[in-house]
Amino acid sequence: MAADKLRGLLLSFPRAGAGGNTGTWRVYRPVINYAKCTKCGLCWLYCPENVIDWLEDKNVRIDYTYCKGCGICADVCPVKAIDMVKEGEV
Amino acid sequence: MTQAVARQVRKVLVGDHAVAEAVRLARVQVISAYPITPQTLIVERISEMISKGELKADFIRVESEFAALATVYGAAAGGARAFTATSSHGLFYMYEMLWWAAASRLPLVMAVVTRVVGPPWNIHNEHSDLLAIRDSGWVIGMAQNVQEVFDMTLTAFRISEDERVLLPVAVGLDGFILSHTAEPLDVPSQEDVDSFLPPRNPRIPYVVEPNGEAITMGNLPKDDVYHAILKELMDESMENAKKVIAEVYGEYGKLTGRNYGPLTECYRCGDAKYIVISMGAWTGDILNAVNRLRNEGYPVGVLRIRYLRPFPDEEISSWINGVKGVLVFDRDYSAGYGGVLAGEIMGLVPHNVSFKGVIAGVGGFDVSVDEFAELIRDFIDKTERDGPMRVRKSWYIPRR
């Protein structure tokens, strides 16, 4: 039994697609205040949906197509640079 | 000794320290464990080794056994060689993680120092805790003496990391009888161990790493036969494990001059008409009892189970082929059924062969050589007098 066969069965490889698309039901969205952000990357580490990119220049960016609005990033941000804003008020 | 074996150092260690010694020589990278009697000496010794710089590894302190196994699981998924150790109540505290670790097909080694599961509160030796994990997908071994504890722990890494197996390995040792008993053992040098056990390839079977490929393990599968396919693969690996265990011990025998079983070992079985089957440290007492009975003229041999999973059915069948009687000693009790070993082995014993399962030593009381001799003699005499019996379970409790 090769490990390759096992890999093929046991693992899934997340890709951007229709599967995790949030649609219109998100109630709050996280909005980053770049003036406050210290580029520490904690929100990137904690995001359960892995929708925060930590870019080359250490800036973070949220992909709102897949963000569920759970608020964990706002909660863990040590400098409170992320606000949870009600959808439609942004 | 006909073959040239590696130079070894003779040491005197208790069983728990022998496990720690094997972990050191195996160059384990991550250890996480929660102390529980009688496993405590293992983690104490390992943390001592790390603090003295004898072992370059991370010791991660955790709040529970569940977390301990989850931590080494994560370490193994990250490509490290990882180890944990536990005992009865701790083993049951990590029960869910045992299944996760096995079905995730990650190489791991765990020492299980067997102990009674309460209540009543009891720290003595019994095999029920180790045998309660036998369905989870772990390869399960059980050592007989301190030397074998060391050898089994060291070879466990090779077996677990073999691409044909990729299953976690549990090494069982009897609480106190082995774990806290000092015995002499031969320890090979670091160079020899390194040649026997190369560093783990972190990419097999897969690796979860930061900035690596995004992968998910254990996600909800899209159709419902996935699970069956994976279990079938696990079964295939268990069958492979029989071959791999034989290969690994063959190579280990060349290195150290100690040739084991592989899955079972039989003592004075060549001309035996009766076979006594057991597992673990008290087999040593049974050996003494059998030697005594041999001197009295009873044709009896001892079959010791070294690995219960993968189940050594072919080996047991070949050993008990043509005998008149099989007697199984269990140091465990499966409630509502009987002895675990007796139950599993009974299916391999033909109907015209006398069979008896004895549950003894449950709760940790000692069974002496005299008592063993008496029980075996009684079984043989009854069979010779009244013909074959079929007793799946019987209790042996001395009323002292």
Cβ pair A6:B218 closer than 8 A: no
Nearest-CA residue of chain B relative to A15?
B214
pLDDT for the residue numbered A1: 53
| Pairing state between β B325-330 and B274-279 | parallel
pLDDT of residue A4: 83
Q: In a mutagenesis test of the A interface, which of B104, B206, B234 is the best target, namely the one with the most A β-carbons within 10 Å? A: B206
| Minimum-distance CB partner of A13 among B104, B166, B214 | B214
How high is the pLDDT of residue B139? Answer: 97
Q: Which chain A residue's Cα is nearest to B239?
A: A1
| Interhelix angle B146-161/B15-25, nearest 10 degrees | 40
Q: State the CB neighbour count (10 A cutoff) for residue B210.
A: 6
Instruction: With CB atoms and an 8 Å threshold, state whether A11 touches B233.
Output: no
3-state secondary structure string across B114-132: ECCCCCCCCCCCCCHHHHC
The answer to whether the CB atoms of B215 and A11 lie below 8 A apart is: yes
Task: Assign A21 a pLDDT band (cuts: 50, 70, 90).
Answer: confident
Q: Is B171 helix (H, G, I), strand (E, B) or coil?
A: strand
The neighbour count for residue A21, using CB atoms within 10 Å, is: 9
Cβ distance B206 to A3 less than 8 Å, yes or no, reads yes
Average pLDDT in chain A = 88
In which residue ranges of chain B is pLDDT below 70? 1-4, 400
CA distance linking residue A85 with residue B269, whole number of Å: 78
Cβ distance of A11 and B216 shorter than 8 Å: yes
What is the per-residue pLDDT for A57?
Answer: 87
> CB-based contact (8 Å) between A9 and chain B?
yes
Nearest chain A Cα to B103, which residue?
A10
- Residue B235: the pLDDT is 95
Residue A16's pLDDT band, with cuts at 50, 70 and 90, is: confident
Phi, psi of B101 (to 5 degrees): -60, -45
Listed in sequence order, the DSSP H helices in chain A are 3-10, 42-46, 72-76
Q: Do B166 and A6 touch (CB under 8 A)?
A: yes
Name which of A3, A9, A13 is nearest B229 (Cβ-Cβ).
A9
**What pLDDT does B224 receive?**
83
Cβ distance A10 to B214 less than 8 Å, yes or no, reads no
**Res. A13: pLDDT tops 90:** no
Interchain CB distance below 8 Å, B219 and A12 = yes
Give residue-wise pLDDT tens across range B115-164.
999 899 999 999 999 999 999 999 999 999 999 999 999 999 999 999 99
What confidence score (pLDDT) does residue B7 get?
86
The predicted pLDDT at position B178 comes to 95
**Which residues of chain B lie closer than 8 angstroms to A55, CB-CB?**
none
Predicted TM-score (pTM) of the model is 0.88
